[in-house]
């Protein structure tokens, strides 16, 4: 996991000490380290603000509901700010994989903006609180971990917290995220949010509803996805067999449901097929 | 000193194919017999674990790495020669099949390192599969095979002429690629790793299915500027297809059959090859041009995405090839850019 790689990555504290001594040889090194310390401190502070905001709102309201609104702005700001981490990897001041970091940050940003912000009706859901709390605690620990590592003074407590609380926080976050997406589904379908239908000038279509279902599917670990793919293929084959043996119903409602079912089934099968192909090969360009 | 001299002589003799037998080395006695030829011993170790995998004695000094691979394959049948990477150093570069044993910087007992390249599949097989798929898939969408679109459209045909034209162009493109794979291309490597077939097929099949779905959809909208747009796009497409084919023929003629020599490609009498003056990989340039033409012809966003992704990939390859040309040939023309004239 990238989290495991992070301690080694932030071990630039060693180079930081050398850099201070030989600034003319590795000027950017010292500068990069200083910048990273500032960045991590700012992020730690930001997520602390969110944590405090949550506690204060809970105390004043007296209930768990609707706490999202009290921390909406700082959440959006600091979670979006995490996009800088992709830049850090791309530039090289943090030796993590750009692809991996990008994927993690984009999934967070997607949930913040494309789900929670875009679908107002889910903002009252308890699942939102679930993942916000999980993210807050995780990020406070993570950024303080990086800060202390860069300064070469990592308290054991932080290290322990990072690798132990993860066991609780990760499932908590995933559950909250999945429930939120699931809650958003009916509203997305009803309003056709972010969706494009045929016919149109550019001969393109996009169904955000199906896309969200696929996002949920992508959370499932590899092993179980393969099983799910097998199940879907069997379902598809049996459906083909059934349709061939009996007359297709003429009534409009059944027809629409059938097409709906078909469409999603096909797309899911193709999507999961692609996902599984990717597990069979690495993302490397063809060697000539 | 003696060995170096012998090696130098051997290299010069090696240039004349299959020269007479080498004279005996004065210092090292022949191991087995009193013959004039000294046999080599070859020890093959695993590059990762340094385990002794194979010991070959009585190896002809003129034996090539290819022959040694064949001998190694006999003792380890699961590692066929295409799968073997033989090197002098565990972390070094792979030796070529044509390298001759005595020309290598080894003593009479050579220690070689082996790395398993994984299951291999031939280039031709990969190309045929990855190009055959799009051809068939597109036609399935074109003929509106059941279970793709609404049942009332099964086996119907589109009323737009551009859809028929697009099918012809797309099919022509992939038929051309299949024929080129069988008759035109000369491959420097025989095989590639097996996992590449999954990756490549997913890319080609996936994109062609996605494009074909929209172009052959009952609700397809023809191009905004009508006939003019389609005709212009068709001209661009055909021009680039001929160009691409010309470049492939020119590249084929650079390399005599069976050889693996590398030369700088130059423009020939065919005007389409004059792009070599400006670009290192004009076949990629023409390929991008064809797909741009197809995009304009169909006015379909998924086709535009496919063109973009293909362009990015080909740009990466072209830059790599351009760099290796510059490294290999001192007198490489400076005017040329990798893929787009004067730009990229």
DSSP character string of B58-116: EE-TT-BHHHHHHHHHHHSTTS-GGGEEEESSTTSPPPPTT-BGGGSS--SEEEEEEEE
State whether B299 and A281 contact (CB < 8 Å): no
B17 touches A at CB < 8 Å: no
Highest mean pLDDT among A80-89, A242-251, B335-344: A80-89
Tokens representing B77 are 């049948």
Show residues of chain B in contact with A270, CB under 8 Å: 206, 209
pTM, rounded to two decimals: 0.75
A130 pLDDT above the threshold of 80: yes
State whether B215 and A203 contact (CB < 8 Å): yes
Give the confidence band of B59 by pLDDT, cuts at 50, 70, 90: confident
Residues of A with CB under 8 A from a CB of B: 198-205, 240, 248, 259, 262, 266, 270, 274, 277-278, 280-282, 285-288
Question: Which of helix, strand or coil describes residue B142?
Answer: helix
- Closest listed residue to residue B276, CA positions, set B287, B284, B265: B265
State whether B214 and A201 contact (CB < 8 Å): no
A26 pLDDT above the threshold of 90: no
* Closest-CA residue of chain B to A273: B202
- Closest listed residue to residue A140, CA positions, set A46, A228, A273: A46
- Cα–Cα distances in Å, from A282 out to A105, A198, B241? 21, 35, 31
Tokens representing B54 are 């194979």
A282 pLDDT above the threshold of 60: no
* Closest-CA residue of chain B to A281: B195
- Cα–Cα distances in Å, from B59 out to B10, B66, B151? 16, 13, 69
* Closest-CA residue of chain A to B147: A262
B53 pLDDT above the threshold of 60: yes
Q: What is the pLDDT of residue A183?
A: 96
User: Across-strand partners of B309?
Assistant: none
Which of B199, B209, B280 should one mutate to test binding to chain A, selecting the residue with the greatest count of A CBs within 10 A?
B199
State whether A203 and B147 contact (CB < 8 Å): no
What CA–CA distance (Å, rounded) separates B325 from B336?
A: 11
A254 pLDDT above the threshold of 80: no
pLDDT tens readout for residues B285-309 = 999 999 999 999 999 999 999 999 9
Show residues of chain A in contact with B325, CB under 8 Å: none
CA distance B217 to chain A (A): 9
Q: Residue A78's CB: how many other CB atoms inside 10 A?
A: 23
Q: What is the pLDDT of residue A19?
A: 44
User: Across-strand partners of B115?
Assistant: B85
- CB-closest option in A198, A262, A277 to B202: A277
B316 touches A at CB < 8 Å: yes
Helix (H) or strand (E) holding B42: strand B40-46
- Closest listed residue to residue B212, CA positions, set B142, B121, B285: B142
Higher pLDDT, A51 or B85: A51
State whether A198 and B151 contact (CB < 8 Å): no
| Strands of B40-46's sheet in order across | B52-59, B40-46, B109-116, B84-87
Q: Residues, chain B, total?
A: 344
B312 touches A at CB < 8 Å: no
* Closest-CA residue of chain A to B302: A204
Give the confidence band of A20 by pLDDT, cuts at 50, 70, 90: very low
B56 pLDDT above the threshold of 90: no
Q: What is the pLDDT of residue A6?
A: 40
Cβ(B250)–Cβ(B270) below 8 Å: yes
pLDDT tens readout for residues A65-112 = 989 999 999 999 999 999 999 999 999 899 889 999 999 999 999 999
State whether B195 and A205 contact (CB < 8 Å): no
Q: Which residues 170-199 of B have a C-beta within 8 angstroms of A?
A: 192, 195-196, 198-199
Which of A269, A276, A286 should one mutate to test binding to chain B, selecting the residue with the greatest count of B CBs within 10 A?
A286
Higher pLDDT, B134 or A287: B134
State whether A201 and B224 contact (CB < 8 Å): yes
State whether B198 and A199 contact (CB < 8 Å): no
Lowest mean pLDDT among A248-257, B256-265, B268-277: A248-257
Q: What is the pLDDT of residue B32?
A: 52
Look up the ipTM and state it. Answer: 0.71
Show residues of chain A in contact with B221, CB under 8 Å: 199-201, 203
Q: What is the pLDDT of residue A38?
A: 96
CA distance A199 to chain B (A): 5
With the CA atoms of A97, A101, A103 and A109 taken in that order, what torsion angle do they form, in degrees rounded to the nearest 10? -160
Higher pLDDT, A108 or B48: A108
A236 pLDDT above the threshold of 80: no
Give the confidence band of B23 by pLDDT, cuts at 50, 70, 90: low
What average pLDDT is seen over chain A? 82
Cβ(B123)–Cβ(B192) below 8 Å: yes
* Closest-CA residue of chain A to B209: A270
B62 touches A at CB < 8 Å: no
pLDDT, average across residues B15-35: 50
pLDDT tens readout for residues B185-231 = 877 777 888 878 888 888 999 999 999 999 999 999 999 999 999 99
B313 touches A at CB < 8 Å: yes
Q: What is the pLDDT of residue A5?
A: 39
Question: Percentage of chain B surpassing pLDDT 70?
Answer: 89
Give the confidence band of A247 by pLDDT, cuts at 50, 70, 90: low
B281 pLDDT above the threshold of 70: yes
pLDDT, average across residues A273-283: 56
Cβ(B167)–Cβ(B138) below 8 Å: yes
What CA–CA distance (Å, rounded) separates A39 from A88?
A: 11
What CA–CA distance (Å, rounded) separates A235 from A73?
A: 45
Cβ(B148)–Cβ(B214) below 8 Å: no
- CB-closest option in A204, A262, A277 to B301: A204
Show residues of chain A in contact with B313, CB under 8 Å: 285
Higher pLDDT, B252 or A137: A137
* Whole-number CA gyration radius for chain B: 27
Q: Please list the active-site residues of A.
A: 170, 177
Cβ(B213)–Cβ(B205) below 8 Å: no
Q: What is the pLDDT of residue A275?
A: 67
CA distance A255 to chain B (A): 10
What average pLDDT is seen over chain B? 85
State whether A198 and B317 contact (CB < 8 Å): no
Taking 3-state DSSP, the helix, strand and coil percentages for chain B, each rounded to the nearest 5, stand at: 50, 10, 35
Higher pLDDT, A282 or B239: B239
State whether A240 and B147 contact (CB < 8 Å): yes
pLDDT, average across residues A115-119: 96
Lowest mean pLDDT among A180-194, A245-259, B166-180: A245-259
B317 touches A at CB < 8 Å: yes
Q: What is the pLDDT of residue B34?
A: 54
B110 touches A at CB < 8 Å: no
- Closest listed residue to residue B90, CA positions, set B46, B54, B52: B46
């Amino acid at each position: 996991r990238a989290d495991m790689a992070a301690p080694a990555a932030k071990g630039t504290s060693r180079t930081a000490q050398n850099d201070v001594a030989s600034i003319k040889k590795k000027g950017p090194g010292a500068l990069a380290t200083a910048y990273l310390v500032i960045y991590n401190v700012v992020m730690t502070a930001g997520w602390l603000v969110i944590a405090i905001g949550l506690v204060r709102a809970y105390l004043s309201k007296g209930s768990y509901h609707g706490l999202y609104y009290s921390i909406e702005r700082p959440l959006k700001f600091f979670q979006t700010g995490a996009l800088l981490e992709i830049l850090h990897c791309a530039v090289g001041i943090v030796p993590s994989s750009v692809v991996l970091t990008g994927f993690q940050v984009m999934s967070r940003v997607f949930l913040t903006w494309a789900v929670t912000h875009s679908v107002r009706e889910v903002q009252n859901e308890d699942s939102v609180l679930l993942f916000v709390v999980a993210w807050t605690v995780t990020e406070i620990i993570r950024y303080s971990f990086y800060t202390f590592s860069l300064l070469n003074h990592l308290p054991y407590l932080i290290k322990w917290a990072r690798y132990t609380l993860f066991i609780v926080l990760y499932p908590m976050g995933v559950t909250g995220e999945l429930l939120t997406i699931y809650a958003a589904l009916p509203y997305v379908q009803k309003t056709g949010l972010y969706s494009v239908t045929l016919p149109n000038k550019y001969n393109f279509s996009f169904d955000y509803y199906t896309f969200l279902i696929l996002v949920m599917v992508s959370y499932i670990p590899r092993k179980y996805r393969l099983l799910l793919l097998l199940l879907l293929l069997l379902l598809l084959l049996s459906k083909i067999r059934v349709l061939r043996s009996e007359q297709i119903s003429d009534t409009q409602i059944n027809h629409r449901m059938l097409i709906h079912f078909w469409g999603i089934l096909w797309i899911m099968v193709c999507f999961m097929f692609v996902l599984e192909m990717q597990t069979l090969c690495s993302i490397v360009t063809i060697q000539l | 000193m003696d060995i170096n001299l012998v090696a130098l002589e051997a290299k010069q003799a090696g240039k004349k194919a299959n020269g007479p037998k080498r004279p005996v080395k004065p210092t090292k006695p022949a191991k087995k017999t009193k013959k004039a030829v000294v046999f080599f011993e070859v020890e093959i170790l695993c590059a990762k674990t340094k385990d002794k995998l194979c010991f070959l004695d009585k190896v002809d000094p003129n034996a090539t790495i290819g022959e040694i691979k064949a001998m190694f394959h006999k003792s380890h049948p699961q590692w066929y020669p295409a799968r073997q990477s033989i090197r002098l150093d565990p972390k070094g570069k792979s030796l070529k099949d044509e390298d001759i044993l005595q020309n290598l910087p080894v003593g009479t007992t050579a220690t070689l390192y082996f790395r398993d390249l994984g299951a291999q599949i031939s280039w031709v097989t990969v190309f045929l599969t990855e190009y055959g798929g799009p051809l068939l898939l597109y036609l399935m969408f074109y003929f509106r095979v059941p279970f793709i679109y609404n049942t009332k459209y099964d086996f119907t045909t589109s009323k737009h002429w551009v859809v028929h034209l697009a099918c012809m162009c797309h099919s022509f493109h992939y038929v051309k690629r299949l024929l080129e794979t069988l008759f035109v291309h000369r491959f420097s490597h025989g095989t590639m790793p097996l996992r590449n077939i999954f990756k490549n097929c997913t890319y080609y099949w996936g994109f062609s299915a996605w494009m074909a779905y929209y172009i052959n959809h009952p609700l397809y909208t023809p191009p905004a500027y009508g006939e003019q747009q389609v005709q212009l796009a068709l001209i661009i497409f055909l021009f680039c297809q001929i160009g691409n084919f010309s470049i492939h023929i020119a590249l084929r003629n650079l390399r005599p059959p069976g050889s693996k020599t590398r030369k700088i490609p130059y423009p020939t009498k065919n005007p389409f090859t004059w792009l070599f003056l400006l670009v290192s990989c004009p076949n990629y340039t023409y390929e991008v041009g064809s797909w741009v033409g197809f995009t304009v012809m169909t006015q379909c966003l998924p086709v535009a995405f496919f063109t973009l992704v293909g362009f990015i990939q080909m740009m990466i390859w072209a830059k790599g090839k351009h760099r290796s040309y510059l490294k290999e040939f001192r007198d490489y023309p400076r005017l040329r850019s990798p893929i787009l004239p004067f730009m990229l």
